Chains A and B, each alone.
Chain A
């Protein structure tokens, strides 16, 4: 085709190209709009409506079942009848309405007049005052006349207005009276069947398709006006998040998809339509963490604004199985560079920590608490500084007097591989690990262990047991160990699973003692542990020499023959010197190092290497060792470990997921694994020891570590402990130190010993439950008791031991209990009981009638006692508690054998004191106080019981 001159292209063809491109542009524009409009969370919300309808349908069914159809029909009929009566009075109503209209018109007019008069009066008053003030008396007088007249007029107007409003009210009442019957019928209906209508209405409107206007409201482009399907969000109170260097209020939009998270009734639905599983604690409006205040990501982690779809929110699968499920269901994949993914479900409790500071255990945070318990059990805090954990004592026993307790040979073999001796030991393993089992490393390790032990024994203080072991009865000793209370802290070889299932790890697993310590040492230790170690937490059970000897006799039968036959390799002096040279040449040349070495004699060299090795492995972090006082622990500070960038965690050549929690867990399972495949020299090998931890323990510790992060919450958003809570926590820490929880269940926590079969079968044989102890006992009695433990329940085989408590510790425990009940420190104890006339006689009668002395026999008869001595109650128990206890023992201490004489608010003995519960209880309390002895322990008590009086 020939083109016109001046034309390079055919315009017709160009027009076609233009048309084609324009259509493409239009299509891509439509695509953009749709891409923006169609959002996965909208589908979720539409489906949520269906689910809501389903739930409402069930509710409607239930409501329908509760109201009879005939009844509804009758109620509706009554309304119709009422309506008819009302209609018959239409003419009267019309007349009244006309009257009402006239009155209201007058009211309107008068309101305007009164308003004008009122404001004129105020203005005139001001003018008059001014004139008078400035001495213009004549003008003032003239004005006063006018003002008075105006005020009279205004007053009349106001009065008339009142008259009119009264009239109006009367007419309105008259009108209402005309439809009285109808109103009554309607009210009746609303009361009896109104719920049906409401539920029905809710049911009918609970669907996207129920109302055509919904389509319009949610249509593209106009859906910004008032959509029904929209992003839901909460702005958390006092909780901030770091947004580009600025702390801003936390905004969470999770409820856009988790539509019913805060609404009960959806517990059985699948996610995301499920109700929160713990609505009473979390999310629920009445819970301590309401959704509107706390948000979601505060605890769960994650970024609250990520709502596009399942993947955008950055959920984290719990395990591989869930991951596969999610892949199948949501095409799950990990996002691109997400700073804060949601925590795994099992790690959610790590989110508690940032707000709940200052408490060792956070109520209901079970996994976190278990993790924290493990930190204590394994003694992580010994080597790793953790802010808030500084108060804890060193996890291992003191080595100040080691030479008098064990032999060198034993110690070497022990340090080399503790599990050879004690398969359940908490002592972690430094040697024979995956990174130091090469022959050349083993040789050096042997030299180190030899030197360490040499150092320890050289620096050990001398000690000699205060008594001698002269043999004992092993069977009796075994029974004592089973019964006296050892099992609340120790597991003991050979005493049977019934007792060992308490499973406490507070003290060491007792095994092989016959191959470890001498009889003299053991007797002396059992009788008075503080004699060997001043600051021990091992208490004295006030054992007689006989008892201690019997126990010793049993414990010495536990032997580890294989272990005692082991011979530890001798110190290789050349290896020792080689190691020392390496130390010396860290900062000096080899020549200087050699001179330094030559300056030391053989023994000095060994001690030098011993000291350096103790420093290297951080033995002093857990054990008191002479020469290492005040040294900082060797581990990494864990205070903010949970925020450590993943890139700072050394994954080495391990083929595992590069995630923080994965690293933590694997680190705990085998801390030396990161050295695999590294070409490291001996001194650079990883040193964190192996705890032979179970996967479960590693998981729990991971939760703990993730909680130790640097997330910041403003003070106002945190849980700030009040004075009571602070005192309670302090008390708890002391009790935790001495493992009071091992025996006592204290307000629902602890009581491990109850797991032993004997106690589980008969709780009355077990150490008492301390429920509301702060209310139960007088603080001064309690304080005294902790210092001078004596028998309260003589039938018990298990003994309350005497702890090595300082005065401050005793005070702290007592105050902690008091603070739990928010009570004043002292409650009055009457010097002399004041009786009402006849009350005392009634009290005595009650004692007999209720047969108090059949259990509380002490001081009443010679029968075997089954309950504490009432003669000690006055000084021990608070009066208010005695009354509370008498009225309902089960509510104070569930499971107690104390009978309830006042069940359901009725006295079992109605003839005494008019059968009044209060009067009977008061009389009993007064009687108990009257027979109560003045001082405690009373004179002659020690002699009578045979216990040794403490010095």
Chain B
């Protein structure tokens, strides 16, 4: 049992668990019809319940899960699982119908009938409001506010964690300069979300669940949502302990745990390791390779993607929409790319210009 726990601890390491998540995400997208069946769902629940109970039987894991701060994350976790499955389930049914030449379930005559918004909608919304209020009241009574000690600039709590919904961002700080992880990336997330209705003018999927008709759009969004946001929150909440060090789910948060971290910049790899010279004093020259890599990433890979897969969309949506979309997707992809570069090559920054507060 201990060996198994040890294995789980290792497997939860960000590099492995992220890869696993990627694989699972791929499987979800690929086999959504199987996953979307009720049989699969029940099978999954039946299979996972003992696993969950086994996890909960561990003191360390239980302590972390039961911390009042972390309760919302558990709720989030279960609801994300459920609603993701629900959409997949509905999409799977509809896609089958569409393939068979039928209309989606939502398009059936009985589902197209119109009803009064009062009381059918507004009244029900009121119920939800009341029920939500009751839930919050009871929650607040039972679990007292998990306050930290009074703030003290000379004695910060360790780990100092952001509110749970920002833990994904905090996790990004491991891989990016604070300026990138804290400002630039979040801004692009917001811009991207705001831009969706303007970029995506495809009417397919409006008012009904489908996957096969919107494979690319849904995959892109779900990748950002599930893999890059939810997964990072889980890591940040449950698996990051004192000093923001990684701890497996069964690993005691030992304050003194030591991890080897020696990251180097791309410029250092090239100039010193590969070319065997000193670092050039001119900043631009020093970082020229990194800058080139960045430009090439956006330029060359952008052009290649456009050539291979993008022609169709380019024609349908127009240049501005397409290139903006392409930029956002490429930008999103920098996060996993940077993570893998870190894990594989202990790469610190591709462009390291701390003199200008610009590290990429």
A residues bordering B, Cβ < 8 Å? 6-9, 11, 14, 17-18, 21-22, 24-25, 28-29, 31-32, 35, 243-245, 336-339, 645, 647, 650
Contacts and interface: CB of A to CB of B under 8 A. Distances in A.
List 8 tightest A-B contacts by C-beta distance, closest first.
A8-B115, A21-B130, A8-B120, A339-B149, A28-B137, A337-B149, A6-B116, A28-B134
Contacts of A31: 137-138, 141
Contacts of A28: 134, 137-138
Contact of A35 (B124, B131, B141): B141
A338 B148 CA distance: 8
A18 B115 contact: no
Contacts, number: 63
Interface stretch (B11-19, B151-159, B273-281, B341-349): B151-159
A7 B115 contact: yes
A21 B134 contact: yes
Contact of B119 (A14, A25, A339, A650): A14
23 contacts: A6-B115, A7-B115, A7-B120, A8-B120, A9-B119, A14-B119, A14-B123, A14-B124, A17-B127, A18-B123, A18-B126, A24-B130, A24-B134, A25-B130, A25-B133, A28-B134, A28-B138, A31-B138, A244-B151, A336-B146, A336-B147, A339-B149, A339-B152
A9 B158 CA distance: 53
B45 to A, nearest CB: 28
Nearest to B123: A14
Nearest to B141: A35
B204 interface: no
Contacts of A21: 127, 130-131, 134
A140 B286 CA distance: 101
Given A6-B114, A8-B115, A339-B149, A647 B137 contact: no
Nearest to B135: A28
Interface in B214-269: 255-256
B64 to A, nearest CB: 14
A29 B124 contact: no
Given A9-B120, A244-B151, A337-B147, A32 B131 contact: no
Contacts of A11: 119, 123
A18 B127 contact: yes
Given A6-B114, A11-B123, A17-B127, 5 more contacts: A14-B123, A21-B127, A245-B152, A337-B147, A339-B152
Contacts of B130: 18, 21-22, 24-25
A537 B137 CA distance: 73
B124 to A, nearest CB: 7
Contact of A29 (B119, B120, B137, B150): B137
A8 to B, nearest CB: 4
Contacts of A645: 155
A41 B263 CA distance: 56
Contacts of A8: 115, 120
Contact of B255 (A9, A24, A338, A647): A647
A22 B130 CA distance: 7
B115 A338 contact: no
A35 B127 CA distance: 25
A243 B150 contact: yes
B210 to A, nearest CB: 23
Contacts of B141: 31-32, 35
Contacts of B120: 7-9
A17 B131 CA distance: 11
Nearest to A32: B137
- Residues of B contacting A: mostly: loop
Nearest to A26: B134
B113 to A, nearest CB: 8
Given A14-B119, A29-B137, A338 B149 contact: yes
A315 B158 CA distance: 24
Nearest to A9: B120
Interface in B136-176: 137-138, 141, 146-153, 155, 157-158
Contacts of B127: 14, 17-18, 21
Contacts of B153: 245
B115 A337 contact: no
Interface in B157-215: 157-158
Interface centre among A8, A32, A245, A338 (most CB of B within 10 A): A8
A266 B5 CA distance: 57
A337 B160 CA distance: 13
A343 B137 CA distance: 36
Given A7-B115, A29-B137, A337 B148 contact: yes
Nearest to B116: A6
A11 B127 CA distance: 13
Contacts of A32: 137, 141
Contacts of B115: 6-8
A33 B124 CA distance: 28
Contacts of B149: 337-339
Contacts of A337: 147-149, 157
A32 B153 CA distance: 35
Nearest to B121: A8
Nearest to A27: B134
Nearest to B126: A18
A17 B128 CA distance: 11
Contacts of B157: 337
A35 B151 CA distance: 28
A7 B116 contact: yes
A278 B137 CA distance: 46
A244 B137 contact: no
Nearest to A647: B255
A17 B138 CA distance: 19
A80 to B, nearest CB: 62
Contacts of B151: 244-245
A337 B148 CA distance: 6
A821 B131 CA distance: 78
Contacts of A17: 127
Nearest to A337: B149
Nearest to B133: A25
A338 B150 CA distance: 9
A18 B114 CA distance: 23
Contacts of B124: 9, 14
A297 to B, nearest CB: 15
Contacts of B126: 18
B31 to A, nearest CB: 35
A931 to B, nearest CB: 71
A27 B222 CA distance: 41
A23 to B, nearest CB: 10
A31 B136 CA distance: 13
A7 B113 CA distance: 10
Nearest to B138: A28
A8 B137 CA distance: 31
Nearest to A34: B141
A28 B130 CA distance: 11
Contacts of A647: 158, 255
Contacts of A650: 256
A251 B15 CA distance: 51
A28 B133 CA distance: 9
A25 B133 CA distance: 8
A336 B138 CA distance: 21
B150 A339 contact: yes
A32 B137 CA distance: 7
Interface centre among B116, B137, B151 (most CB of A within 10 A): B137
B273 to A, nearest CB: 23
A111 to B, nearest CB: 61
A22 B123 CA distance: 13
Contacts of B138: 28, 31
Contacts of A7: 115-116, 120
Interface string B32-55: 000000000000000000000000
Given A25-B130, A647-B255, A244 B150 contact: yes
A17 B141 CA distance: 24
Nearest to A29: B137
B126 to A, nearest CB: 7
B145 to A, nearest CB: 10
